[in-house]
A and B are shown apart, each in its own frame.
Chain A
Amino acid sequence: MLLKIAIRNVFRHKRRTFFTVFTMAVGLMFFIFFDSMFVGIDRMLIEELIKFQDSSIVIYSKEYDENKKAYPLNKPIKDVDTILKVASSIKNVEGITPRTQFLAELIYLGKSQYIIGTIVNPQTDTKVFDFHNSVKEGRFFDNNKENEILIGSVLAKKLGVTVGDTITLSAQTKYETYNAVDFVVCGILETVVPTINESTVVLTFNSAEELLDLECTVTSLHIKISWPKGESIPSYTRKVTEVVKELQKKLGEEYKIYSFKELYNEFIILMKQKRISSSIIIFFILLISAVGIVNTILMAVYERIKEIGVLMAMGLKPKEIRRLFLFEGGFIGVIGGLFGILLGFLVNLWLVYLGWNLEKMYGETATGLKPSQLGMPVWGTIYGEWNIYAFIFCFCFGILIAIFSSYFPARYASKLQITNCLRHV
């Protein structure tokens, strides 16, 4: 009966209850939305790193790994073919491509700059990396042409290089002799990774042969593990870690294998710190709904002071009076929680399947610059993610907040003096 009274009282003031439930639901909706969006941004950042840096998994020879910073050409991966075979038989492997990096000096019209050269296999590289979609001017490699080179956008601008220009690279060959070769710039690369734009040139294994006496030297293999829309970061991390373990077992100690998590660890830590500030936003949103509930329950207490007196005269104990109002708050919490989940579900449906196109929003039209160029941490379209825990948390939290917020008004009600309640008009 107490429950019945509480529930009916909730519906006694439909408009007030509606507003409270609405504030709460909107608060919880934002919670789900922000949670999903922040996770989406994180995912997007990781995805970009995977697309442009080292992919999901990278394999080096052990000796190379120990001297990575020097980009040595004489510590290659020996049995590339075996690894390719092993890796392509593993589940979730979407692509695998060899790369070799070297240090060189770029010379153009008397200006020079030290750069990192990345040698790629254009056929397989496109299955793992996204360089072919990041050529701002010009084009990606043409199979029929030799000595073509892609150059980072910032680097190109600094040296005044444009598509079609001829540049010279000077580097140490595999046998540590010096050599210099001319290349034709076929395209300007613009990615979201600043180091690529600032100090990288990309060329094919064929073109690099003459410069470095390469003889098919491969210093790293990059493996892309498929990441379907909606799969969470932890789940993907687990999946990749599994593959790393399997590879390590099959290939032995001779190779050093990194997952993206180890590769971008610093970055991921930074990301987690950022999440703290986003939690603060969420906290404030929830605080607002809490204030709404406190207000509603307090009003309920004030307008029902006489009823409280009657119930106490009938022998209801203070703690039962308190329970009555806690029920009422809890009930509002349940409805608010349910509506919150529903709204959250709807916005997330949109965020997960259609995505939020930030570039369109902040558009190139207004400033002529993409958000990424403005130093914003996001670009392109953010996709949300389904996080069942966010929904469960949301619902429980909604009820808890409701009960917690009604606790003080309820306690106030239970401490009222009966005679004062009855005299109340």
Chain B
Amino acid sequence: MEGQLVLKGVRKVYTKGNIFIEALRNINLEIAKGEFIAIMGPSGSGKTTLLNIIGCLDIPTEGEIVYNGEQLTNLKEDTLAEYRKNNIGFIFQSYNLLPVLTVKENIELPLVIDKTISKRERETRVMELIEKVGLKGMENRYPNELSSGQEQRVAVARALVKKPLLVLADEPTANLDSQTALEIIQIMKQMNEIENTTFIFSTHDPQIEKFAKRIIILKDGMINSDTKISQ
């Protein structure tokens, strides 16, 4: 199926000296294009690890990841970088904007890294997104001049600017107050509906959970439940 992501028997073991930590065990998942998935579970249950592996930031110890029928498991670092660049947007819990770049430049960065997009095209896309995430008039501010909610909006815009097929967000609202968290999740949902972008986010927040169309609950590195919600 077009844009389908499949995880087969994924296992992740961290080694710390003599200690082995099995962060993920036997994860099997199928994710279709356009899904809006919340990954839940207690702290240490493997949410971050799972997102990292889906995002090709880390490689599984065992098992395979197949995207669009293509094996992602045994690719080289540079090829993975290329894959991330073209297909995935990331939103982090602590926003992670580059402090030396303005709002506009931060959002533009992934397009600049891409090198294939013209300056005019970049300009229109960035301005469009700034408008959508509600940051109009703040284009030239630096991150330290923004509130945390505004920073996360920039991060969302940055993750979306390349029109990726998949956006991964590790606890995107954990640092925000509930009102702002709600606004952010709404923006994400809106993008999901308009662009049909796949979103996978981890969260603890029941308020956010409500927006998900599918909820995967992890426990001790295993999938405890996987529920589709009909709305």
Contact = CB atoms under 8 A, between A and B. Distances in A.
Interface string B71-111: 00000011001111110001010101011110001001110
Given A419-B52, A422-B57, A422-B92, A315 B98 contact: no
A1 B52 CA distance: 26
B99 A12 contact: yes
Nearest to A309: B96
Interface in A309-327: 309-318
Q: What is the predominant secondary structure among interface residues of chain B facing chain A? A: helix
A5 interface: yes
B92 A12 contact: no
Contacts of B98: 5, 307, 310-311
Contact of B81 (A306, A307, A310, A317): A317
B21 interface: no
B113 A315 contact: yes
Nearest to B168: A313
Contacts of B57: 312-313, 418-419, 422
A206 interface: no
Given A418-B57, A418-B58, A419-B58, A313 B90 contact: yes
Nearest to A10: B100
Nearest to B96: A310
A295 interface: no
A317 B78 contact: yes
Contacts of B60: none
A9 B81 contact: no
A317 B115 CA distance: 13
A311 B57 CA distance: 12
Given A1-B109, A419-B52, A422-B92, A317 B100 contact: no
Nearest to B49: A419
B55 interface: yes
Given A1-B109, A314-B113, A8 B52 contact: no
B146 interface: no
Interface string A393-418: 00000000000000000000000011
B32 interface: no
Interface string A3-21: 0110011001000000000
Nearest to A307: B98
A315 B81 contact: yes
Residue of A5, A309, A418 most packed against chain B (CB within 10 A): A418
A404 B58 CA distance: 31
B117 interface: no
B112 interface: yes
Contacts of B105: 1, 4
Nearest to A312: B81
A5 B77 contact: no
A203 B98 CA distance: 84
B96 A307 contact: yes
Interface string B36-66: 0000000000000000100101100000000
Contacts of A318: 77-78, 81
Contacts of B90: 310, 313-314
Contacts of A422: 52, 57, 92, 96
Contacts of B85: 314-316
A194 to B, nearest CB: 65
A417 B56 CA distance: 12
A309 B170 CA distance: 14
B26 to A, nearest CB: 21
A14 to B, nearest CB: 13
Given A314-B85, A418-B57, A419-B58, A12 B109 contact: no
A309 B82 CA distance: 15
Interface of B: 52, 55, 57-58, 77-78, 81-86, 90, 92, 94, 96, 98-101, 105, 108-110, 112-114
29 contacts: A1-B113, A4-B105, A5-B100, A8-B100, A12-B100, A306-B94, A306-B96, A307-B96, A309-B96, A310-B90, A310-B92, A310-B96, A310-B98, A312-B57, A313-B57, A314-B109, A314-B110, A315-B82, A315-B110, A315-B114, A316-B113, A317-B78, A317-B81, A317-B82, A417-B58, A418-B57, A419-B52, A419-B58, A422-B52
Given A307-B96, A422-B96, 20 more contacts: A1-B112, A4-B101, A5-B101, A306-B96, A307-B98, A310-B98, A311-B98, A311-B113, A312-B57, A312-B81, A313-B55, A313-B57, A314-B109, A315-B83, A315-B114, A316-B85, A317-B77, A318-B78, A418-B57, A419-B57
